Amino acid sequence: MKNLFSVLAIACLTLSCGNDSNKVIETSNDITPSTPKNIIMVIGDGMGPTYTTAYRYLMDDTNTPKVENTVFDRHLVGMSSTYPDTNHDYVTDSAASATALSSATKTYNGAIGVDMHKNSVETVLERAKSLGMKTGIVVTSQINHATPASYLTHNESRNNYNAIANSYIDEGIKADVYLGGGWQYFLRDDRNIVNEFKDKGFTYIDNYQSLETPSSDQQLLGLFDNKGLPWALDDSNKHRLSAMTKAAIKQLENKNGYFLLVEASQIDWGGHANDIAAAMGEMDDLAKTLEYLETYVIKHPNTLVIVTADHSTGGVTLGANGVYEWKPDVLRTMTQSPSAITKKLEANKITYDLANQLFNFELTENELSDLITVKDNTLRDIEITAITDKHKAKKISVNKALYTAVKKIIDERTNTGWTSSGHTAVDVPVFAMGNDREKFYGYQDNTDIAKKIFSLLNNN
């Protein structure tokens, strides 16, 4: 009977006691300890509830009558509010929300690990480090971007990128693993922070292939691009977040436990750009990361994974213009981002064959004609404007005009709508798996998530 109960409990953990997915996961017979030894905090930047819904429909097997569940559905436990402490305006930025998630402190938009009076506040990563745990961050942005910075340091403005990078050394090294982008900020003419990390005993890598090489007892700094990483659709490893997360966990595992922050940073960037194709590529990268963590938790039941978003971005709508349908078919075929498609359309003569090859689906005559017209008209505007105002002419962008046209084709094909190029104030989903996941059930504020993590750390 005990063995049967264990099997049922593990099944509930994996499938959320009611999921109709056919996914089967190997499990261990380990007894779950009372308090998690390892805590993994995952943030889908900008990932409001519409993004996880869109991903479900994107991954749907159209040959079956049901819409299959995804890893997000299997582990949904609640919702979270995201508002900052700024005169009840309700809409947060990533810095204020990350500070709330990292420190349980409401603050102003732009604040990095500081309160409304710009005083430093302790973060859960700092607390974990002080307790002798290993710590790490894995992001697809630059590692000194708003979210990771709000766990690692303290600054009055998220825009002080060089100062934030400097603080990763100057305020003491607070993590054992840093993986993401950021050459521009860490390999500067005035300061080579990479060398400073190496002088402190860190192994430095600058390509994904090297993620496999460091030994598990080494501290690790990995920077893989100038700022953020390429879009998942365009990157050499389309599941780079998953690869980096696996490598980080390998480095962090130890007898005292670890705290790891993982951020799918560029879901937000897709939302800001109103780019559904790029955003879904980032969602797939995050989903593959969570599927790995799903199996990891089963094999390491002393681990807790919490997943949420800092806010939602773009006001994306599945079913626009009063039409009762959303059709992700073309998104399933695309092999590169709209941004990459745009660059090639700008650099080459737009032909039927080139456009079909780039989009990886067949364009209509009207769609092709629109692309050609947009490019020709923009080039003509530049030429005419330059006659009287060369400075103004330089501000007219063929790339920007074509990018808008490319996204328009995809939005019309899928019937996707957008209400904003910024953030919105909607509540965001909360997911959890592993030990003590039930603590995150139901509605909560983003500060409550940090409070619960602090409590778990204090019980270790």
Q: Residues 71-98: pLDDT tens digits?
A: 999 999 999 999 999 888 999 999 999 9
Angstrom distances, CA of residue 310 to CA of 84, 94, 305, 425, 428: 11, 6, 16, 10, 8
Max Cα-Cα span within the chain: 86
What pLDDT does 293 receive?
A: 98
**Rounded distance, CA 74 to CA 336, Å?**
29
Query: Are 308 and 407 a contacting pair, CB within 8 Å?
Result: no
What pLDDT digit, counting tens, does each position of 258-307 carry? Answer: 999 999 999 999 999 999 999 999 999 999 999 999 999 999 999 999 99
Q: Please determine, for residue 9, whether its predicted confidence score (pLDDT) is greater than 60.
A: no
For range 7-15, the mean pLDDT: 40
Q: pLDDT at residue 15 above 60?
A: no
Catalytic residue among 28, 34, 80, 94: 94
- Ordered DSSP codes for 347-409: HS---HHHHHHHHTSPPPHHHHHHHHHHHHHHHHHHHHHHHH-HHHHHT--HHHHHHHHHHHH
pLDDT for res 35: 87
| 375 pLDDT more than 80 | yes
- The whole-angstrom separation of Cα 104 and Cα 393 is 48
Cβ proximity of 140 and 224 under 8 Å: no
Give the confidence band of 33 by pLDDT, cuts at 50, 70, 90.
low
pLDDT in tens, 169-221: 999 999 999 999 999 999 999 999 999 999 999 999 999 999 988 777 789 99
Q: Specify the pLDDT at position 18.
A: 39
Q: Which domains does the chain have, with CATH numbers?
A: 38-317+425-458 (3.40.720.10), 327-414 (1.10.60)
Mean pLDDT of the chain: 93
Residues 320 and 415 sit within 8 Å (Cβ to Cβ): yes
21 pLDDT more than 50: no
Say what the pLDDT of residue 428 is: 98
pLDDT of residue 241: 98
Q: What Å distances lie between residue 88 and 78, 82, 428, CA to CA?
A: 23, 12, 18
Range of lowest pLDDT (11-25, 86-100, 124-138, 407-421): 11-25
Q: What's the mean pLDDT in 303-327?
A: 97
CA distance 211 to 394: 41
Q: Is 94 among the residues known to form the active site?
A: yes
What mean pLDDT comes out for the span 90-107? 98
The predicted model gives 8-18 an average pLDDT of 40
Tallying the residues shown for the chain, one arrives at 460
In this prediction, residue 99 carries a pLDDT of 98
Percentage of the chain beyond pLDDT 70 is 93
Give how far Cα 223 sits from Cα of 152, 161, 385, Å. Answer: 17, 15, 41
Judged against a pLDDT cut of 90, whether residue 27 lies above it is answered with no
Rg, the chain, Cα only: 23
